[in-house]
Amino acid sequence: MSKVLVLMGGTSEEREISLNSGQNVCKALEQKGFQVEVLDLNKDNLNQIADIAPDVVFIALHGKNGEDGTVQGYLDLLGIPYTGSGVATSAICMNKIITKKLLSYEGLPTPDFIIMKKKTFDRAAFVVRSLVQKFGLPMVIKAATQGSSIGTYIVKKENEILPAIEAAFQYDQDVLIEKYIDGTLLTVSVLGNETPCVLPIIEITSSNEFYDYESKYTPGMCEHLIPARINENLQSAITRISEETYKSLACRGFARIDFMVDHKGQPYILEINTIPGLTDMSLVPDAARAVGISYEDLIERLVKLALEK
């Protein structure tokens, strides 16, 4: 019987979601017969990880100081296996700007973008005009290193652009400004290490204008459609792109890749989540259930993949 330490909570903006994920993970591990320890991680109790001396750590942290490679690096120093991707992949995928640069380098489709830096940001009117000229309206403004759509704004009017950029700067020193893709939101969950398995594509509908924090975590405000309402050719293309993306960014264990498909049927990668949610409303468990993998079996598989690494 392996001793599994579940890291949850943490200090990011996504703390409450992490606690929810972690509690579900603990229940599943206990049902599978693992010896389970729990730690609500913060800077003052890091040393407890070594004291607990787990066989493997299940990282159920979301956002900064959990999903961004920091915890992964500490566990590498301790020589303790952990679920999910390694340091470099975690850090890259947490940063939307670096992710998009690598996607572009690999020739993988992602919406056009530019980067705004807080140090050099100019509120002049010409900035607004140049952004509208490049992207049109609406456009998307995102904080670089937040999850759960925190710090993300869809701007429809010119007078909303500067306030949205400044709001995003409250979360990060760098802001991503991206072409808005009007179409269908899809997400693809992938499991595995060297030989990943792509799970069924999910189509997401939302009661709100976009799939924001409220829609993601409020019962009844979104719907996960499996199978997605797309044709076979598009399904095959997205499956191929998802596997290629997973391998190109050296993901391990599991990840979730979000897409927008425009009205011409062109898919665009929005982002890659290396520790996607594991709550009752989360997408990865839904995709797993669609192929007969129960929540408990999914969690056990993630532990085995961590030990395999």
Convert the pLDDT of each residue in 168-202 to its tens digit: 999 989 999 999 999 999 999 999 999 999 999 99
Rg (CA), the chain: 19
**In which residue ranges of the chain is CATH 3.40.50.20 found?**
3-83
Question: What's the burial of 193, exposed, middle or buried (CB within 10 Å: 0-12/13-18/19+)?
Answer: middle
CATH class of residue range 3-83: alpha beta
Long-range contacts of 237-242 (CB under 8 A, 24+ apart): 237/267, 238/186, 238/188, 238/201, 238/267, 239/188, 239/198, 239/201, 241/108, 241/109, 241/267, 241/269, 242/188, 242/190, 242/198
Q: What is the pLDDT of residue 222?
A: 73
Active site residue 252: no
Please give the single-letter amino acid code of residue 100.
K
Active site residue 213: no
SS3 call for 261: strand
**Lowest pLDDT segment from 46-50, 183-187, 278-282:** 278-282
The active-site residue, picked from 20, 24, 85, 273, is: 273
The active-site residue, picked from 178, 203, 212, 258, is: 258
Please give the single-letter amino acid code of residue 34.
F
Confidence band for 208, pLDDT divided at 50, 70 and 90 = low
Q: What is the pLDDT of residue 55?
A: 98
What is the distance, to the nearest Å, from the Cα of residue 201 to the centroid of all Cα atoms in its chain?
Answer: 16
Active site residue 15: no
The active-site residue, picked from 217, 246, 268, 295, is: 217
The active-site residue, picked from 18, 63, 90, 256, is: 256
Output the six-digit token pair for 110: 């992602």
Active site residue 248: no
pTM for the model:
0.92
SS3 call for 200: coil
Q: CA–CA separation, 114 vs 92, rounded Å?
A: 17
CATH 2.60.40.10 fits 113-179, yes or no: no
Average pLDDT, the chain: 92
Active site residue 271: yes
**In which residue ranges of the chain is CATH 3.30.1490.20 found?**
113-179
Residue 115 pairs in a beta bridge with: 176
Asked if pLDDT for residue 216 goes beyond 70, the answer is: no
Supply the CATH classification number for the domain 92-109+182-308. Answer: 3.30.470.20
Active site residue 24: no
Confidence band for 122, pLDDT divided at 50, 70 and 90 = confident
Active site residue 212: no
CA angle 271, 122, 167 (to 5 degrees): 50
The active-site residue, picked from 67, 243, 271, 300, is: 271
Q: What is the pLDDT of residue 120?
A: 84
Active site residue 277: yes
The active-site residue, picked from 12, 24, 95, 148, is: 148
Q: Where are the beta strands (DSSP E) in the chain?
A: 3-8, 35-40, 56-59, 113-117, 139-143, 152-155, 174-179, 183-192, 197-198, 202-206, 222-225, 253-262, 267-273
